[in-house]
Amino acid sequence: MTLFQLEVFLAVVQTGSFTRAGELLNASQSGVSHSIGDLEKELGILLFTRNRGGVKLTDTGEQILTHVREIMNHKEQINQAAAASRGVNSGTLRIGAFPSFSAHVIPGIFQAFRSHYPGVELLLFEGSYAEIEAWLKTGIVDLGFLADPSEGLDIVQLLSDPYVAVLPANHPLREHELISIEQLTHEPFLSLKSGCERLVMSAFQEKGLSLNKKLEVAENSTIVSMVEAGIGVSVVPSMILPAVPANVAVKPLHPPIIRRIGIAVLSQRMVSPVAAAFIKEAQRQLAESE
């Protein structure tokens, strides 16, 4: 078993095709096929099922995938540690982030980091909270920006993002300085389903309140458009709102609901030198912006 065979294995998983894996690795389709065939022969199992639609991992292949990702992650850490000892900053850092953070915060962090470490390639994976947690646990990303993650991850806290009530511009509650969730109980409610709705649902449940939920929406901009059209009200993190909100009323909540955003890793003891440098740069950037 060689590292190249494992790289080929991951490329096939990523692309779903021997041909596209070859293109990714600058190798021929036959070379990819031979590498996978030799690996399967050595292990005595089938890693993929082949059909006209492409290739798919077998059940055993799924079990092996996590271990292969761990091996390749350790390989990257070795390369980065060696590069750091030579005074050379190189390698690839894979970062998970949710959309509102990607749009409003990531650009500044990436720009600052690249100015100090131009040799490091930054790859951004954008997804929901659940996707980012899964990517961290399976080794797809090296670190991820998350809000209030589940157990099993180490997190470095960065900032707090308060939730706000978003109302149609002509809504009767627009005259209130603060809004309580009790006041929203019977309103037609529009909910995000990216993961940031978890704190909102918990706040209602803790008070024994139910929601008159009308719609679940995936995109942040859609929520604002729906509220602007008078379809309902919502409670969202303030970060998702544009600098100048659309024709809506935005009100603070009382008591406040706050999501705490940080950088999550599988283990701080296993963080590579480049990842550690990225975390420090993110902390510095956000401290300066406060």
Q: How far is CA 231 from the centre of its chain?
A: 29
Instruction: List the domain boundaries for the chain.
Output: 159-259
CB neighbours of residue 102 within 10 Å: 18
Distance, CA of 251 to CA of 15 (rounded, Å): 45
Query: Which of 89, 1, 55, 109 is closest to 273 using CA atoms?
Result: 89
Distance, CA of 100 to CA of 98 (rounded, Å): 6
Q: Is residue 140 a contact partner of residue 69, using CB atoms and an 8 Å limit?
A: yes
Q: Is residue 72 a contact partner of residue 10, using CB atoms and an 8 Å limit?
A: yes
CATH number of 159-259, picked from 3.40.50.720, 3.40.50.1400, 3.40.190.290, 3.90.1150.10? 3.40.190.290
Hey, what's the torsion of the CAs at 187, 191, 196, 200, to 10 degrees? 30
Quote the pTM value. 0.68
Per-residue pLDDT tens digits of the chain, which is 290 residues long: 888 888 888 888 878 888 888 877 777 888 888 888 888 888 888 888 887 777 888 888 888 888 888 888 787 777 767 766 665 577 789 999 998 899 889 999 999 999 988 888 999 999 988 889 988 887 889 999 998 777 788 999 999 999 999 999 999 999 999 999 999 998 999 998 877 888 898 999 999 998 888 888 878 888 889 999 999 999 999 988 877 677 899 999 999 999 999 999 988 877 888 888 899 999 998 887 66
